[in-house]
Structure formats: C-alpha cells, structure tokens
Amino acid sequence: MVIPVLIGMTLIVFFILRLIPGNPAQLILGQRATKESLEALTSQLGLDQPWYIQYFSYMKGLFTGDIGTSIRTGAPISQEIWPFFIATIELSVVALLIAIVIGMNAGVISAWFQNSWFDYTAMVIALVGISMPIFWLGLMDQWFFSIDLGWLPSTGRENVRDPVTPITNFYLIDTLIQGDFSQLNVVVKHLILPACALGTISMAIIARITRSSMLEVMRSDYIRTAQAKGMRMFWVVYKHGLKNALIPVLTVIGMQMGILLGGAVLTETIFGWPGIGRYIYEAINFRDYPVIQTGILIVAAFFVLINLVVDLLYAAIDPRIKYH
Amino acid sequence: MQEILNTQQFQQVKEVQEVHSPWLDLWRRFRKNKLAVVGLGIISFFVIVAIIAPLLAPEGINEQKLADRLQSPSADHWLGTDDFGRDILSRILYGTRISLWIGTFSVLGSIIVGSILGIVAGYYGRWVDTIISRLFDILLAFPSILLAIAIVTILGPSLSNALIAIAIINIPSFGRLIRSKVLSVKQEEYIMAAKSIGMGDFRILFHHVLPNSMAPVIVQGTLAIATSILEAAALGFLGLGAEAPNPEWGKMLSDSRQFITQAPWTMVSPGIAIMLVVIGFNLLGDGLRDALDPRMKH
C-alpha cells in the first residue's frame, strides 16, 4: 500500500507546477522577463518536453537524489532542505512528547476519577484545545510569555550572536555532544513556546481518546480481578488499564505527526523557526515552485512512513495482531 | 358513535406516529445532551449575528478613521480599532458571514463530490473502486493544510480558491465514509427487492442507498465545518485566503501581528471568535453523533 501511495503523491506533486494556468516560467519571472530568460527557465524546468518525459526525468531525479534547484537561491534543494527538515523534526518531536506526556496522563486521570472536577476541567481544556487556531495560540503565547513577561525568546532557534555549531542539526543533541550547557539552555528556551503551541491540539486529542479508551477498559473483568487481588489502584490503572487502552491512543498519536507537520507551517511562520514549513512558506511568496513541490513531497512522504511505523508498532504492543 | 371511535383511533395512530417519528426521536435524544444543546445555541447565535450583522455593527467594515487608529477597547469601540482606525467589533460581526459561508459551502461541496465518488466506488466495486479508493488514500496521506496550500498555489490566492481547496481536501473522508455505508447497505434485502422489480442503478443509488447512508455524513459534516473554518482562517493567516479589505478572521489576525507590542487587543477578539464558532460545531457534532448512534437509543 505504501509504494502506490508514494507514487501517487509524486504524481500529484509533479502536476502542481503543470496545472498552473499559463506559463509557469512567466509566472515565476514576471511580466517583464525577456524572451531568452523565459526560454532558459522553461528548459531548466523541463516544461518544453511532453509531460510523461518530464515525469520520468522527475522520478529519475528523485531516485538519484537530484530533487531540483531553488529558483530563489540557485542552490540544489537536496543540500538546502536538510537543516530545515531536521529543525522541523526536532520541533515536532518535542511537541509530540509534550502532547503525549501531558495528554495521556490527563486522559488516564480523567478516566480514573470520572465525573470529578479534574475530569470536567481537563475535558473543557481539551475541547478548547481542539477548537483553538494554532496560530492564534502561538501569537498569544508570544505576546504573554515573551513580550509581556519577558521569560522566553519570541523568535528563532538559537542566539544569533552565538550560533550553535551544527553536527546533526538537531540542536538539542548537538549542544549535548559539545557539552555546552549554556547553549543547551538557550536552545531549550527557544523550543518551549513553539513546541507548546504546536503540541496543544495533539495534546487535547490524545487526552480525549485516552480517556474514552481507558473508560472502556476500566470496566473489564481483568481490572476488577486486579483490584480484587488487592493491587494498588495506581498499578491497576497504569499497568493493566493503560497498556490495554493503548491501541486507539497509538493510532491517534500516529495521525498527530501529520497534524504536527502541517501545523509546523503556521507555528514556524509565527516563531521564525527555520524549519521546512517556513521554507515552503517563503517559497510560496517567491513562487519558487521546485521548492514548494519538493518540500510538500518530503513532508508527505515522511508522514506516510511514520504511519507505516505505527502500523508495525501495533504488533509489538498487541500480540493478537500479526502481519504476514 | 362510529365517528367518535374513528376520531379516537385516529388520535391514537397520530400519537404513535409522533412517538416514532425519527426526527422527534432524534431531537429527544439530542436535547438530553446538555453540551450539544450549548453547541446548538452557539451556532444559532453566530447564524443570527451573520444575518443581522448590518443592524448590529456600530460602523461599516471599511469605515476608516485614521485619527482613531489602534485605539484600545472603550465605550466607543468595544473591541478597539485596527491600524486603519476601523472598528474591530464591526469587522468581527461581518466576518461571521465569511467564516460560516466558507465552512458550510466547502463542506457541502465535499459532501456532494465525496458522495458521488463514494457511491460509485461502493456500488460498482472492482476496478472503479480500486482507482477511487487509491485516490482517496493518496489525498489522505498529505497533511491537510499542506495539500490546501498546494491547491491554492495552483489556483492563486483568494477566498473562493481557499474554499475550493478546503472542499477538495475534505472529499476523501466523506468519500470513504459513504463508500463503507454503501457496501453495507447494498447487501440489504430492500436493495435486492428494488433490483428484482427492475429498478435502474441510478434510481437505486439516489433513492435508496444515499438516503440510508446519510446519518454518519451529517455528523462528519458538522465536525468538518469546524475544521474547515480553522483551515480557512489558517489560509487567510498565511495570506492565501481572503484578500484585503475582507474582514476574514484569519486575515485580521495576520494583519494584527505587526502590532503585537503596540496593540495586542487587535489579535484577541478574532481568535476568540474563531474558537467559539469552532467549539459550537464540535459540540453540535459530538451531540449529533451520540443522538444518531443506534446503541445510544436505550
């Protein structure tokens, strides 16, 4: 299933450029472009060839690592995109971790103390969380925690006067490898606001699904048996309850990666985070179509692969699920 | 005497009909859910505001008073003014129309196209089903906002193109839903009966299959309006939706960004408006799902 979907994605992304009404080269260069520059760009983009030849050479490029050249910077996209992509992954993973830790625990405690004040408060917050525009939350966070209180930096990923020396481009890992804890502190401070803003919707969704899944599991006979044996309620809930309630939660967590990668476009724009979302957004403003195509394809392909990993994880968590 | 008996019988039949009317039954189950009623109340409020916006708005949407620019909330301007001195409350009230319009019509578009594709895939099966289902898989594999950005990039940034983009990204979820319902409905005996009396495929599909698959679509549609409003606001925020001077809430937030230090109130009210209307549709959708779920009947 994964391979046909990936091929289908390349087709859709490939046609983004070809479906634009008029000559894309003219659109990129503007109305004042000379005939020579138009012809040169048309030929560079391969637009003078039949579409199937264009698609074939596009696919050949994808397999050989040649994913095009940015019109804005003139640099190969394969070199340019990597640090942006890693920056987005770092932000999304931290956002997801925050969402899982807080969301799952809120869901478990809500189910454990069903109809208590904690349950009502947590579920109202979750409802507000899924209904809130992520970019608005980001702006409010920025205003309150950066401008008003001055606790956290409002934009960027690092201190521009003392930049991190990239090794893996995961700045949390890079600063740890270098043993530079003052820079680690700066990197963490830059991460908190965008990661919290990005993780809020996922946190709310995870809290809601964990609660409903736990409520179902907590009515099972084996939970009653564990309680009857005199096991401490904490272990009954977390060991017997949560483990069996995990499959729907895991499905939702897998889906969150897509929401996070999509939401990254908005969060990165607000917080000036140099990730792939901002890279695509800036490319849109400059009509840098090769970058838009490749950026969208990379994010979407990554999302498909994450879902594949989640599918494989089911079997590890639930031995009743087997893949042949 | 006979006449009195007939009247009594008629009354009884009417009462029985009323008790078993599916709409009344649905409403009875729906109103038991207090949160769902709150959701319906919120939506009704916004619909009324959208209709009578010109009566409620203290000023016009583009009435500029540069002397009053970036005023904080006061008795004259309850929610303050923006950088052109326009009354934010008036713009929010008019903006209700845009958000409800884009949410409702994009979802209607998705339901219509998704239903046609889902019905064709589910009813005809074989290669038609394979092609349509794979297309749904591919579209669903994209993070939705990215796909919307890609579509608006092709069509060009505007409010109507944002609506089309949002409609397209929602098609696969409705298509899949209808397809699965069609697959179960087409095994029912009344469909076989309709076939055996020589009814054509088209009539069977649109007179029997579609009406019997609608309950989950209504639920999904209500929840999809909520996400569509959020997506439209996101596109507006990125400069890919409504153009100036449209009072679209996402665009208003985007415009207020540059005054975050000077006039933070300019970005509070559009965000709250988006959140409230989305909460309303989410509560309504959850309530409808519970009310339409046959397991919740008793």
Three-class DSSP labels, A101-141? HHHHHHHHHHHHCCCCHHHHHHHHHHHHHHHCCHHHHHHHH
Confidence of residue B6 (pLDDT cuts 50, 70, 90): low
pLDDT score recorded for residue B298: 47
pLDDT score recorded for residue B109: 96
Average pLDDT for residues A169-193, to the nearest whole number? Answer: 91
CA distance linking residue B246 with residue B242, whole number of Å: 6
For residue B71, being part of any structural domain is answered with no
Confidence of residue B213 (pLDDT cuts 50, 70, 90): confident
Could you give the C-alpha distances from A9 to A300, B108, B132, B150, B165, in angstroms and in order?
A: 8, 26, 15, 12, 17
Average pLDDT for residues B51-66, to the nearest whole number? Answer: 84
CB-CB: which of A131, A139, A262 is closest to B260? A139
- How many Å from the N-terminal Cα to the C-terminal Cα in chain A? 14
Q: Cα B168 vs. chain centroid, distance in angstroms? A: 14
pLDDT score recorded for residue B2: 55
Contacts of B150 in chain A (CB under 8 A): 12-13, 16, 292, 296
Average pLDDT for residues B88-100, to the nearest whole number? Answer: 93
B137 has a chain A CB within 8 A of its CB: yes
pLDDT of A152 strictly over 50: yes
CA distance linking residue B221 with residue B229, whole number of Å: 12
Average pLDDT for residues A125-141, to the nearest whole number? Answer: 92
Q: Which residues contact B57 (CB under 8 A, 6 or more apart)?
A: B87, B89, B90, B93, B94
User: CA torsion B147→B150→B151→B155, rounded to 10°?
Assistant: 170
Residues facing residue B87 across a β-bridge: B81
Chain A residue with the nearest C-alpha to that of B281: A131
| Contact between chains at B137 and A143 (C-beta distance less than 8 A) | no
Chain A residue with the nearest C-alpha to that of B256: A139
CA distance linking residue A282 with residue A296, whole number of Å: 13
φ, ψ dihedrals at A14, nearest 5°? -60, -40
Contacts of B270 in chain A (CB under 8 A): 136
- Which range (A122-131, B35-44, B206-215) has the least confidence? B206-215
Chain B residue with the nearest C-alpha to that of A139: B257
pLDDT score recorded for residue B12: 64
Looking at chain B, the whole-number percentage of residues with pLDDT higher than 70 is: 91
Q: What is the pLDDT of residues B218-277, one digit of tens each?
A: 888 999 999 999 999 999 998 888 887 888 999 999 888 888 888 888 889 999 999 999
pLDDT score recorded for residue A179: 87
Tokens coding B34: 């207090």
Q: State chain A's maximal CA–CA distance in angstroms.
A: 84
pTM confidence score: 0.86
CATH 1.10.3720.10 corresponds to the domain A82-317: yes
Q: What is the number of structural domains in chain B? A: 1
Q: What is the pLDDT of residues A233-266, one digit of tens each?
A: 888 888 888 888 888 888 888 778 778 888 888 8
User: What element of type H or E holds A282?
Assistant: helix A276-285
Q: How many CB atoms lie within 10 A of CB B7?
A: 10
B85 within 8 A of B97, measured Cβ to Cβ: no
B204 within 8 A of B124, measured Cβ to Cβ: no
Q: Cα A278 vs. chain centroid, distance in angstroms? A: 13
For residue B242, being part of any structural domain is answered with yes
Measured over the CA atoms of residue B250, residue B255, residue B258 and residue B262, the dihedral's sign is negative
For residue B291, being part of any structural domain is answered with yes
Of A4, A2, A47, nearest to A22 by C-alpha is A47
Tell me where in chain A the CATH 1.10.3720.10 domain(s) lie.
82-317
* Domain region containing B265: 22-54+85-296
Contacts 24+ apart (CB under 8 A), A214-220: A214/A107, A214/A108, A214/A111, A214/A112, A214/A241, A214/A242, A214/A245, A215/A111, A215/A114, A216/A245, A217/A241, A217/A244, A217/A245, A218/A111, A218/A112, A220/A244
φ, ψ dihedrals at B66, nearest 5°? -60, -25
For residue B175, being part of any structural domain is answered with yes
Interface test with chain B among A10, A19, A123, A135, by most B beta carbons within 10 Å: A135
For residue B17, being part of any structural domain is answered with no
Residue in the structure block whose two tokens are 């933070």: B264
pLDDT score recorded for residue B7: 66
CA distance linking residue A200 with residue A102, whole number of Å: 10
Residues facing residue B81 across a β-bridge: B87
For residue B267, being part of any structural domain is answered with yes
Of A29, A43, A34, A33, nearest to A71 by C-alpha is A29
- Which range (A104-113, A216-225, A250-259, B113-122) has the least confidence? A250-259
| Contact between chains at B271 and A132 (C-beta distance less than 8 A) | yes
Contacts of A275 in chain B (CB under 8 A): none
CA distance linking residue A321 with residue A309, whole number of Å: 14
B240 has a chain A CB within 8 A of its CB: yes
Could you give the C-alpha distances from A158 to A161, A236, A300, B139, B278, in angstroms and in order?
A: 9, 44, 27, 36, 35
Confidence of residue B50 (pLDDT cuts 50, 70, 90): very high
Contacts of B253 in chain A (CB under 8 A): 133, 135-136, 139
Confidence of residue B59 (pLDDT cuts 50, 70, 90): confident
| Contact between chains at A143 and B240 (C-beta distance less than 8 A) | no
B141 has a chain A CB within 8 A of its CB: yes
pLDDT score recorded for residue A230: 87
Q: What is the pLDDT of residues B173-187, one digit of tens each?
A: 999 988 888 888 877
| Contact between chains at B145 and A262 (C-beta distance less than 8 A) | yes
Tokens coding B237: 């925020």
CB-CB: which of A136, A265, A266 is closest to B271? A136
Task: ipTM value, please give it.
Answer: 0.84
Interface test with chain B among A12, A131, A269, A271, by most B beta carbons within 10 Å: A131
Count how many pairs of residues, chain A against chain B, have C-beta atoms within 8 Å: 127
Confidence of residue A188 (pLDDT cuts 50, 70, 90): very high
- Which range (A205-219, B93-107, B181-195, B241-255) has the least confidence? B181-195
Q: Which residues contact B131 (CB under 8 A, 6 or more apart)?
A: none
Tokens coding B52: 């009578």
**Residue B192 belongs to domain with CATH number:** 1.10.3720.10
Average pLDDT for residues B17-43, to the nearest whole number? Answer: 82
Q: What is the pLDDT of residues A263-293, one digit of tens each?
A: 888 899 899 999 998 888 888 777 787 888 8
For residue B180, being part of any structural domain is answered with yes
Contacts of B261 in chain A (CB under 8 A): 147
